[in-house]
Amino acid sequence: MKREKRNYNFILGAGLILFMLAFLLIGCFFTPYDPDAMDGGAKLAGPSLSHLFGCDHFGRDMLSRVMKGTGTTFFVALTTVALGGGLGIFIGAFTGYFGGWVDEVLMRFNDAVVSFPPILLALVFISLLGPGKYNVILALAIVLIPSFARITRSEFLRQREMDYVKSARLMGASHLRIMFVHIFPNALSSVLSMAAIGFNNAVLMEASMSYLGIGVQPPDASLGRMLSESQTYLLSAPWCAVFPGAAVILLALGFSMLGDGLVKKGGR
Amino acid sequence: MKYLLKKTGTLIITLIIVSFFSFLAFSIIPGDAAKSRLGTEATKEQVEMLQKELGLDKPVLVQYGNWLKNFVTGDMGESYSYSMPVQELLQDKIPVTIALTVMAFLIILLLSVPLGIFTAQHEGQWLDRVIMVLNQIVMSVPGFFLGILITFLFGLVLKWFTPGAYVPVSESFFGFLGYLIAPSAAIALPRCAMGVKMLRSAVLSQLEKDYVRTAYARGNGQRRVMYRHVLKNAMLPVLTFWGMTIADIVANSMVIEQVFTIPGMGSLLIASISNRDYPVTLGIIVLVASLVIVVNFLVDILYGRIDPRVRVRQ
Residue B115 within any structural domain of the chain? yes
In a domain, B306, yes or no: no
For residue A5, being part of any structural domain is answered with: no
Question: Quick check: B104 and B97 in contact, CB under 8 A?
Answer: no
Given this model, what pLDDT does residue A268 score? 43
Domain assignment present for residue B290? The answer is no
State whether ipTM is beyond 0.85.
Answer: no
- Looking at the complex, report in whole angstroms how far the Cα of residue B111 sits from the nearest Cα belonging to chain A: 22
What was the pLDDT predicted at B29?
A: 63
Inter-chain residue contact A238 with B152, CB threshold 8 Å: yes
Cis geometry, peptide bond prior to residue B95 (ω within 30 degrees of 0): no
Q: Give the model's pLDDT for residue A97.
A: 82
Nearest partner of B60 among B68, B48, B70, B49, judged by Cα:
B68
Q: What is the mean pLDDT of chain B?
A: 80
Contacts 24+ apart (CB under 8 A), B205-210: B205/B234, B206/B230, B206/B233, B206/B234, B207/B120, B209/B233
The CA distance from A124 to B304, in Å, is: 32
Closest CA in chain B for residue A125: B25
- Residues in chain B closer than 8 A to A120 (CB atoms): 247, 250-251, 254, 285, 288-289, 292
Q: Which residues of B278-288 are buried (b: 16+ CB within 10 A; e: fewer)?
A: bbbbbbbbbbb
Q: What's the CATH code of the domain at B188?
A: 1.10.3720.10
Whether residue B280 is contained in a domain is answered as no
Number of domains in chain B: 2
Reference B165, options B145, B180, B147; nearest CA is B180
Task: Note the pTM of the prediction, 2 decimals.
Answer: 0.82
Q: B309 pLDDT exceeds 50?
A: yes
Share of chain B above pLDDT 90, in %: 2
- Mean pLDDT, range B45-61, rounded to an integer: 70
In a domain, B12, yes or no: yes
Specify the number of domains making up chain A: 1
In this structure, the answer to whether residues B135 and B83 fall within a common structural domain is no
Three-state secondary structure call for residue A55: strand
Question: Residue B301: inside a domain, yes or no?
Answer: no
| Residues B146 and B22 reside in one and the same domain | no
Which regions of chain A are under pLDDT 70?
1-5, 39-46, 51, 59, 266-268
Mean per-residue pLDDT, B7-25: 82
pLDDT in tens, B63-105: 788 778 877 777 777 777 777 777 777 887 888 888 888 899 9
Per CB-CB distance under 8 Å, the chain B contacts of A115 are 244, 247, 292-293, 296
Quote the pLDDT of residue A1: 45
For residue B61, pLDDT over 70 is answered with yes
Cα(A208)–Cα(A227) distance, integer angstroms: 10
Please compute the mean of the pLDDT values over residues B264-287 and round it to a whole number: 81
Burial (CB count within 10 angstroms: exposed 0-12, middle 13-18, buried 19+), residue A148: buried
Domain that holds residue B199: 94-263
What is the widest separation between alpha-carbon atoms in chain A? 76
Q: Does one domain contain both B81 and B227?
A: no
Q: Looking at the partner chain, which of B22, B142, B274 has a beta carbon nearest the beta carbon of A207?
A: B142
Of B248, B263, B278, which residue is a domain's last? B263
Answer yes or no: do A231 and B148 touch at CB < 8 A: yes
We report the CATH number of the domain holding residue A230 as 1.10.3720.10
A130 lies in which domain range? 13-24+54-266
Contact criterion met (CB < 8 Å) for B137 and A249: yes
Q: Are residues B56 and B165 in the same domain?
A: no
B149/A257 touch (CB, cutoff 8 Å), yes or no = no
| CA–CA distance, B89 with A220 (Å, rounded to integer) | 34
Q: Are residues B33 and B112 in the same domain?
A: no
B217 and B105 within one domain: yes
Let me know whether B100 and B79 are in one domain: no
Q: Determine the Cα–Cα distance for residues B292 and B275; give it in Å rounded to an integer.
A: 25
* B65 lies in some domain: yes
Same-domain status, B70 and B192:
no
Q: Is the pLDDT of residue B298 over 60?
A: yes
| A156-194 pLDDT, tens digit each | 888 888 888 888 888 888 888 888 888 888 888 888 888
- Decide if B122 is inside a domain: yes
Indicate which of A17, A108, A121, A127 best probes the interface with B, i.e. most B CBs within 10 Å of its own CB.
A127
Which residue in A127, A228, A241 is closest to B152 by CB distance?
Answer: A241
